[in-house]
Amino acid sequence: MDITFLGAAGGVTGSCHLVRVGDRRLLLDCGMFQGGREEEAHNRDPFPFDAAALDAVVLSHAHLDHSGRLPLLARRGFRGPVHATPATIDLARVLLRDAAHLQESDAERENRRRLRQGKGLVKPLFTADDVEAALRLFRPLDFDVPADILPGVRATLVPAGHILGAASIVLDLEEDGRRRRVAFSGDIGQDDSCMLPPPRPPDRADLVLLESTYGDRNHRARAATHEEIAGVLESAWEAGGNLFIPAFSIGRTQELLTLFAQHYDEWRLDRWLLFVDSPMAIQANTVHLRHDHLVREEARPLFAGRGLRERLPNLRETASTEESMRINSVRRGALVIAGSGMCTGGRILHHFRHNLWRRECRVMIVGYQGEGTLGRRLVDGAERVTIHGEEIRVAAGIHTIGGLSAHAGQDELAAWYGAIEGRPAVALVHGEARGREGLARRLSAAWGVQPTLPRAGELIAL
Ligand SMILES: [Zn+2]
């Protein structure tokens, strides 16, 4: 029995770990590398195992950095089951189809350029057909229901509180009468999310694979974050223009809607025209409605029946391009949530072209903005930005809200581990050097363990 770290080992994307039990092999996650060109080129590397000979995959959650290479796995011959919660399957369907569409249109655009330059053509990383082939392999597995997925492998999914359906994966392995339990955290959410119940650590394990995205720091307290948001809403209204919130369509958008419903009167949201201007976010809203039993009890009325309509009567979900373009004629009082989360594409760019140069408008940044993205340039105070090839002056006010992460901070990660019986061996994954080293120091000070910081390709025997 052993486990080999193949991705998110020294970085935060490409989550993928290979577990071997006797002659059986299974993967925990099969995620995409994201970030710069160099990072993303690794998505085209051959898998360091025979995809056709792989027996199963267990998927922690739908985010592409955990699920995004499943279409490639299917294309390269994998025919086994992909076990995931029903909500993860529904969200992965939305995300993977959208990703295929993007891959195909990016390749088309690149090929038009290459034709003009007389260069060879490129292929999309994967196609819509690859995605459908992968989706056919999904097998629903509910939380807390142990399943014997292979001889000698029992899998149990437990809530991880990160996005809807997100799980930590507990594997009970048996080989020649020897038993070992591996617990893979997946991505762990914050304890006090307004929408999801807190993550639940497994009771015991022999080896823990723990994420460490924010292993070196804590988030700003929830109450202070809410006060900040209230302040931005008030000043945006006073300024007399529109307010734009770039947000990831899955997770962050629904969390914002939950917050808005909970503070509707207090934040005087009735005076705004609320828009969710993203086809993917609208589909994700529907997935949340279908799995409303997975959200926190307080948030459930919003995602049950006509909850969204009743709790946010001024909310409009604008799916079509025409409806989206009509928002451009609103000069004042529009509060628009639109993708993409880091302003690297999507409808938020159209809104920026129409509004960023207006000093009475405001932008509220609610998520992490990666190096080199338009969102990061706005946060850093750029006076001019280029959108769709056109230079735009930034006169609108830019506000950054720090505390809304879908990831646990250092204290919460340390507490999650500390709740597991017997201080098991722990390997830190899904973190940059700072996050991993910060969490390693913290765990060692608090619990006296020496965490392993595996590199890609490294193996731990069980
Ligand atoms: Zn995630």
Q: What is the DSSP string of 42-97?
A: GGGSPPSS-GGG--EEE---SSHHHHTTHHHHHHTT--S-EEE-HHHHHHHHHHHH
Does residue 35 surpass a pLDDT of 80? no
* Tokens linked to 15: 């989550």
152 C-beta neighbours (distance < 10 Å), count: 18
User: CA 226 to CA 267: how far, in whole Å?
Assistant: 10
| Centroid of ligand 1 to alpha carbon of 28 (angstroms) | 14
- The per-residue pLDDT for 37 is 77
Q: pLDDT tens digits, residue range 434-460?
A: 999 999 999 999 999 999 999 999 999
* Residue type for position 347: R
Residue tagged 């609320």 (tokens): 274
| Centroid of ligand 1 to alpha carbon of 306 (angstroms) | 28
* Residue type for position 395: A
| Centroid of ligand 1 to alpha carbon of 29 (angstroms) | 11
| Centroid of ligand 1 to alpha carbon of 66 (angstroms) | 7
| Centroid of ligand 1 to alpha carbon of 458 (angstroms) | 23
| Centroid of ligand 1 to alpha carbon of 301 (angstroms) | 25
Q: pLDDT tens digits, residue range 213-237?
A: 999 999 988 999 999 999 999 999 9
The side-by-side arrangement of strands in the sheet containing 147-150 is 147-150, 153-159, 167-175, 178-184, 207-211, 425-429
- The per-residue pLDDT for 199 is 98
* Tokens linked to 326: 């009509």
* 239, 332 Cβ separation under 8 angstroms: no
- The per-residue pLDDT for 202 is 97
| Centroid of ligand 1 to alpha carbon of 453 (angstroms) | 20
Nearest to 60, CA basis, from 206, 150, 165:
165
| Centroid of ligand 1 to alpha carbon of 366 (angstroms) | 16
Phi, psi for 322 (deg, rounded to 5): -60, -45
Nearest to 19, CA basis, from 193, 199, 149:
149
Residue spans of the domains in the chain: they are 2-217+416-461, 223-400
* 52, 79 Cβ separation under 8 angstroms: yes
Average pLDDT, the chain: 95
| Centroid of ligand 1 to alpha carbon of 436 (angstroms) | 17
Handedness of CA 294, 299, 301, 302 (dihedral sign): negative
| Centroid of ligand 1 to alpha carbon of 259 (angstroms) | 20
Question: Are β-strands 24-28 and 16-21 bridged in parallel, bridged antiparallel, or unpaired?
Answer: antiparallel
Is 3.40.50.300 the CATH number for 2-217+416-461?
Answer: no
Phi, psi for 109 (deg, rounded to 5): -65, -45
Confidence of residue 12 (pLDDT cuts 50, 70, 90): confident
- The per-residue pLDDT for 362 is 98
User: CA 84 to CA 185: how far, in whole Å?
Assistant: 14
Does residue 145 surpass a pLDDT of 80? yes
User: CA 301 to CA 127: how far, in whole Å?
Assistant: 38
User: CA 414 to CA 418: how far, in whole Å?
Assistant: 6
- The per-residue pLDDT for 269 is 98
Find the radius of gyration of the CA atoms of the chain.
22
Does residue 53 surpass a pLDDT of 80? yes
- The per-residue pLDDT for 368 is 81
| Centroid of ligand 1 to alpha carbon of 363 (angstroms) | 24
| Centroid of ligand 1 to alpha carbon of 12 (angstroms) | 9
Give the three-state DSSP class for 112. Answer: helix
User: CA 116 to CA 34: how far, in whole Å?
Assistant: 28
Nearest to 380, CA basis, from 390, 359, 392, 394:
394
DSSP code at position 32: P
Nearest to 124, CA basis, from 147, 108, 146, 140:
108
* 170, 183 Cβ separation under 8 angstroms: yes
| Centroid of ligand 1 to alpha carbon of 361 (angstroms) | 31
Does residue 108 surpass a pLDDT of 90? yes
- The per-residue pLDDT for 383 is 97
Please tell me which residue, 16 or 102, carries the higher pLDDT value.
16
Which residues, 6+ apart, have CB-to-CB distance to 439 below 8 Å?
Answer: 210, 212, 215, 216, 410, 413, 414, 428, 431, 451
| Centroid of ligand 1 to alpha carbon of 388 (angstroms) | 29
| Centroid of ligand 1 to alpha carbon of 61 (angstroms) | 7
User: CA 59 to CA 415: how far, in whole Å?
Assistant: 24
Angle CA(88)–CA(289)–CA(213) in degrees, nearest 5? 40
CA atoms within 13 A on the CB side of 240: 3
| Centroid of ligand 1 to alpha carbon of 209 (angstroms) | 15
Q: What is the CATH number of domain 223-400?
A: 3.40.50.10890
| Centroid of ligand 1 to alpha carbon of 187 (angstroms) | 5
User: CA 120 to CA 123: how far, in whole Å?
Assistant: 10
| Centroid of ligand 1 to alpha carbon of 450 (angstroms) | 26
| Centroid of ligand 1 to alpha carbon of 13 (angstroms) | 9
Q: pLDDT tens digits, residue range 255-290?
A: 999 999 999 999 999 999 999 999 999 999 999 999
- The per-residue pLDDT for 432 is 87
User: CA 277 to CA 338: how far, in whole Å?
Assistant: 5
| Centroid of ligand 1 to alpha carbon of 390 (angstroms) | 33
| Centroid of ligand 1 to alpha carbon of 189 (angstroms) | 9
- The per-residue pLDDT for 446 is 95
Q: pLDDT tens digits, residue range 323-376?
A: 999 999 999 999 999 998 999 889 999 999 999 999 999 999 998 887 788 999
| Centroid of ligand 1 to alpha carbon of 85 (angstroms) | 14
* 6, 48 Cβ separation under 8 angstroms: yes
* 292, 106 Cβ separation under 8 angstroms: no
Q: pLDDT tens digits, residue range 315-325?
A: 999 999 999 99
The mean pLDDT of 154-174, rounded to a whole number, is 98
